A and B are shown apart, each in its own frame.
Chain A
Amino acid sequence: MDWGAIIENTFRGLLGEQFIYFALAAIGLNMHFGYTGLLNFGQAVFMAAGAYGLSMSVATLGLNFWWGLLLGIVVFPLILALLMGIPTLRLRADYLAIVTIAASEMFRIIARSPSLDRWTGSSDGLTAFANDFYDMSPFSTGGRYFFGLFIGNQMWVVLVGWIVLALVVLLVWLMMRSPWGRVLRAIREDEDAARSLGKNAYWFKLQALMIGGVFGALGGLLRAIGTQSAQPQNFITDVTFFAWVALILGGAAKVGGPVAGAAILYGILNFTDVFLRQLVDNGYISESIMDGTQVGQVRFMLIGLGLILLAAFRPQGIFGSKEEMALDDR
């Protein structure tokens, strides 16, 4: 057993790229669910909007990287939020849930369709759109940084990710202390009360959906840059629930909740992943029980189990308080 590798990977989970992508996605969900009470089960599509907004702009349309950022962070997610929000936000909460999960499936079908290969690269996805980003890297490609955890390009992604994450956390903190944030919290608790006081609940919910979507898109865009590819596989429906687990784990309606949740989640997932692989490789678990491919499936089972246990037994998460917010709110 190579305990060094297990520990190293656990730390990479706590601080590395996956943590950043999903912390951003979970912050978006926190805006949706934690503060406004919207049930978005399609955060993966917002992530995909960021990833494909950038990659299609650059790789398909031939625009430059900066235009790609604009499309990926702003244009695509806003259009998506309007498409999903306008029909559903006047209705009971489960309609948004159904439409967002349906949007995930639509994304999967469309992104994989060979008939749109020219635009989306179908199953293989798109590549070679992030060169401008890596050209800006101050780190040498071969070097190891941050206690040797990250190699050159990876370090550059992680550093930019940390900065983006810090800015987003600050922004959310400021917004939620404002009258705007107060209206969102009122809507979460009782939409009719907010409406009776002259607040356009529908419009505020739409704004929250858009802003949370933009944060999700940022996570997806960074993921596309980090993996240097935009593939349907990375944005399937189940990806949404990684962000959900991160959110509930850390505690919804807390500014730092999703960040802490994502770190803990990826710490646990990476640990289990490497630990199980080592067990398989060293023969502690026989190949007939589990092979390398199946280890990858275990993390999804953990996500499912995590959702069940958290929602049933600790809906306020690790750091949240029951007084302010819990899953058991409505």
Chain B
Amino acid sequence: MLTLMSHGRAIRFRRIYLLVLAVVAVLGFSSGSVSAQDDNSAEVKGSLIGRDDAGERIGIADVTFIASDESGSEAGRAVSAADGSWSISLPPGTYQVLLDESTLPEGQTLRNPDKNPAEVRLIEGDSKSTLFALGTPVEPSSEGSTDETTEFVEETSSVGGITFIQLTVDGLKLGLIIAMCSIGLSLIYGTTGLTNFAHGEAVTFGAVLGYVFNTSGIFGFRLHLIPAAVIVVSVCGALGALFNRAVWQPMRRRGASLVAALVVSIGFSILFRYVILFFFGGRAKRFTDYQIQEQWDLGWFRLAPKDLVLMVLAVVVLVGVASGLQFTRMGKAMRAVSDNRDLAESTGIDVEKVIRQVWIFGSALAGLGGILFGLTESINWEMGFRVLLLMFAGVTLGGLGTAYGALFGSIIVGLFIQLSTLVIPTDMKNVGALIMLIVILLVRPQGLFGRRERIG
């Protein structure tokens, strides 16, 4: 579906395709860190694509790339593979990445030799793409070529020329994903009073499981990401039910205090996180499908097809959840239990059943959220924990325990994070959201949609 759409669009934006040879489309916030033991925790990479005599796009192999650090000494090098891909693992820092022009095959030239070497700034966990465009060299002073020259696009959206609108679109995308993840957090809190710190690991697990299915060599076969996502959502839902049954239901039965429950959830968060690290490793990884997709230039902003699909999907799911809560029997029961558990129980609602359903849906949505996060950025072992804090910010903004508040709060947080890069360095943009969290507590602790009584 995604590829079909991109083909349809490709005709209309043919001109860009001719000039921009490889664009990496991953926007989003800074990916997390990699384990402490791993020094080369960041990488710079790219895909060198040119055209053969018939004008077909082909990968250019055996071209050497050299990264040198600020002192000018070589920090790493790579040679492009048959499909033109290359990557150099590096410690965080600032590097000059040089394409060794002498290794380019006959007939291939850099379109803009001035942009070689390219400067790349890497922070921990980064995986940045640098594009070296091939083609007929342009005159540096030539006018009117601005719309055709995206010589290289860093995958984080920090490169100049990004407009307010672009950031708004990015923020909306981020916010929608946070919202999807945080529904479960909010509903579980509402129905059981538990602030479930392990919810972030459901997100990580969704992404990691999606990666496992989507990559060959682990099960010996490879599933396309879409069926993989379906399986992931089911598995996460089932695990949510299991987790509730095996851990939380017994704790509720024993009348464990909320503080004890909170500490147990933190214990699970840490345990799950490091088990994932143990098996998945510290390095950020990506799905096989939709990894590199060319962006559409829509004038006001740029958007990869997968991002559009992702946003539409998120909106559909969220609208579905909201109307489910509003109109279905199950949704009404969930809201009733959230509102007043004892009252709901006395009116004949099976509270344990409602809680089980909340765990299933919440965990399934978190798993789906993990897949979507994995699509927009890389997958790593602590991505869920990073997202958890953004979920807290969103849920608090909306009003802890309110179902719809979490949706709007999360979207505002997403927008805020992206738009804050207008004033603060990109690598610190999440700080803005967390500061916002503290300011909300100071001025309106019940959140935008919460009631005053709730925070007593």
A105 in contact with B434 given A86-B442, A311-B267, A312-B251 (CB within 8 Å): yes
Determine if B428 and A109 form an interchain contact, defined as CB atoms under 8 angstroms apart: yes
Bound CA span A101–B437, Å? 12
For the side of the interface on A, what is the size category? 35 or more
Q: Which residues between 61 and 90 of chain A lie within 8 Å of chain B, taking CB atoms?
A: 83-84, 86-88, 90
B455 within 8 A of A: yes
B260: which of A97, A123, A306, A312 is its contact (CB, 8 Å)?
A312
Determine if A114 and B94 form an interchain contact, defined as CB atoms under 8 angstroms apart: yes
Determine if A102 and B434 form an interchain contact, defined as CB atoms under 8 angstroms apart: yes
Determine if A115 and B428 form an interchain contact, defined as CB atoms under 8 angstroms apart: yes
A61 to chain B, nearest CB (A): 22
Determine if B274 and A300 form an interchain contact, defined as CB atoms under 8 angstroms apart: yes
Determine if A98 and B396 form an interchain contact, defined as CB atoms under 8 angstroms apart: yes
B437: which of A92, A102, A315 is its contact (CB, 8 Å)?
A102
Residues of B within 8 A of A160 (CB): none
Residues of B within 8 A of A39 (CB): 259, 262
Q: Which residues between 5 and 59 of chain A lie within 8 Å of chain B, taking CB atoms?
A: 39, 41
Bound CA span A296–B203, Å? 24
Number of A-B contacts (CB under 8 A): 162
B256 within 8 A of A: yes
A304: which of B37, B124, B268 is its contact (CB, 8 Å)?
B268
Bound CA span A327–B455, Å? 21
B258 within 8 A of A: yes
B266 within 8 A of A: yes
B93 within 8 A of A: yes
Bound CA span A112–B197, Å? 24
- Overall SS of chain B's interface: helix
Determine if B427 and A115 form an interchain contact, defined as CB atoms under 8 angstroms apart: yes
- Report the nearest B residue to A312, measured CB to CB: B264
A141 within 8 A of B: no
A327 in contact with B257 given A102-B392, A112-B124 (CB within 8 Å): yes
A99 in contact with B427 given A122-B92, A303-B270, A328-B257 (CB within 8 Å): no
A311: which of B38, B264, B439 is its contact (CB, 8 Å)?
B264
- Report the nearest A residue to B429, measured CB to CB: A109
A311 in contact with B260 given A86-B442, A238-B270 (CB within 8 Å): yes
For the side of the interface on B, what is the size category? 35 or more
Determine if B445 and A307 form an interchain contact, defined as CB atoms under 8 angstroms apart: no
Residues of A within 8 A of B277 (CB): 297
A244 within 8 A of B: yes
Determine if B92 and A327 form an interchain contact, defined as CB atoms under 8 angstroms apart: no
B45 within 8 A of A: no
Q: Which residues between 83 and 136 of chain A lie within 8 Å of chain B, taking CB atoms?
A: 83-84, 86-88, 90-95, 97-99, 101-103, 105-106, 108-110, 112-115, 122-123
A241 within 8 A of B: yes
A113: which of B256, B392, B425 is its contact (CB, 8 Å)?
B425
B269 within 8 A of A: yes
B-contact 0/1 string along A156-192, CB 8 Å cutoff = 0000000000000000000000000000000000000
- Overall SS of chain A's interface: helix
B161 within 8 A of A: no
Determine if B428 and A113 form an interchain contact, defined as CB atoms under 8 angstroms apart: yes
Determine if B431 and A109 form an interchain contact, defined as CB atoms under 8 angstroms apart: yes
A330 in contact with B258 given A86-B442, A248-B263, A296-B37 (CB within 8 Å): yes
Determine if B389 and A101 form an interchain contact, defined as CB atoms under 8 angstroms apart: yes
Q: Which residues between 352 and 400 of chain B lie within 8 Å of chain A, taking CB atoms?
A: 385-386, 389, 392-393, 396, 400
Determine if A297 and B427 form an interchain contact, defined as CB atoms under 8 angstroms apart: no
Determine if B267 and A304 form an interchain contact, defined as CB atoms under 8 angstroms apart: yes
- Report the nearest A residue to B122, measured CB to CB: A114
- Report the nearest B residue to A122, measured CB to CB: B92
A286 within 8 A of B: no
B298 within 8 A of A: no
Residues of B within 8 A of A330 (CB): 257-259
A293: which of B35, B121, B258, B266 is its contact (CB, 8 Å)?
B35
Residues of B within 8 A of A324 (CB): none
Residues of B within 8 A of A298 (CB): 274, 278
A282 within 8 A of B: no
Determine if A98 and B267 form an interchain contact, defined as CB atoms under 8 angstroms apart: no
A91: which of B256, B274, B393, B445 is its contact (CB, 8 Å)?
B445
Bound CA span A83–B438, Å? 9
B214 within 8 A of A: no
A-contact 0/1 string along B222-264, CB 8 Å cutoff = 0000000000000000000000000000010000111111111
Bound CA span A110–B445, Å? 25
Determine if A92 and B393 form an interchain contact, defined as CB atoms under 8 angstroms apart: no
A301: which of B278, B385, B427, B435 is its contact (CB, 8 Å)?
B278
- Report the nearest B residue to A292, measured CB to CB: B37
Determine if A99 and B263 form an interchain contact, defined as CB atoms under 8 angstroms apart: no
B423 within 8 A of A: no
Determine if A98 and B427 form an interchain contact, defined as CB atoms under 8 angstroms apart: no
B8 within 8 A of A: no
Residues of A within 8 A of B428 (CB): 109-110, 113, 115
Residues of B within 8 A of A90 (CB): 445
Determine if A98 and B257 form an interchain contact, defined as CB atoms under 8 angstroms apart: no
A308 within 8 A of B: yes
A200 within 8 A of B: no
A-contact 0/1 string along B274-296, CB 8 Å cutoff = 11011000000000000000000
Bound CA span A312–B35, Å? 29
Bound CA span A248–B259, Å? 12
Q: Which residues between 405 and 456 of chain B lie within 8 Å of chain A, taking CB atoms?
A: 425, 427-428, 430-431, 434-435, 437-439, 441-442, 445, 455-456
Determine if B434 and A241 form an interchain contact, defined as CB atoms under 8 angstroms apart: no
A329 in contact with B257 given A87-B438, A308-B268 (CB within 8 Å): yes
Task: Identify the interface centre among A95, A99, A329: most chain B CB within 10 Å of its CB.
Answer: A95
A140 within 8 A of B: no
Determine if A312 and B441 form an interchain contact, defined as CB atoms under 8 angstroms apart: no
Bound CA span A252–B270, Å? 21
Determine if A99 and B36 form an interchain contact, defined as CB atoms under 8 angstroms apart: no
B47 within 8 A of A: no
Q: List residues of B whose CB falls within 8 A of some A CB.
A: 30, 33, 35-38, 91-94, 121, 123-124, 195, 197, 251, 256-264, 266-275, 277-278, 385-386, 389, 392-393, 396, 400, 425, 427-428, 430-431, 434-435, 437-439, 441-442, 445, 455-456
Chain A to chain B contacts (Cβ below 8 Å), 22 pairs: A39-B259, A87-B438, A87-B442, A92-B455, A95-B455, A101-B197, A109-B430, A113-B123, A113-B425, A123-B91, A244-B266, A294-B278, A297-B278, A300-B274, A301-B278, A303-B267, A307-B263, A308-B268, A310-B263, A315-B260, A328-B257, A329-B259
Closest 3 CB pairs of A and B: A304-B271, A307-B267, A304-B270
* 12 other A-B residue contacts (CB within 8 Å) besides A115-B427, A241-B270, A308-B268: A91-B441, A98-B195, A102-B438, A105-B389, A110-B428, A123-B91, A123-B124, A296-B36, A298-B274, A301-B278, A304-B267, A312-B256
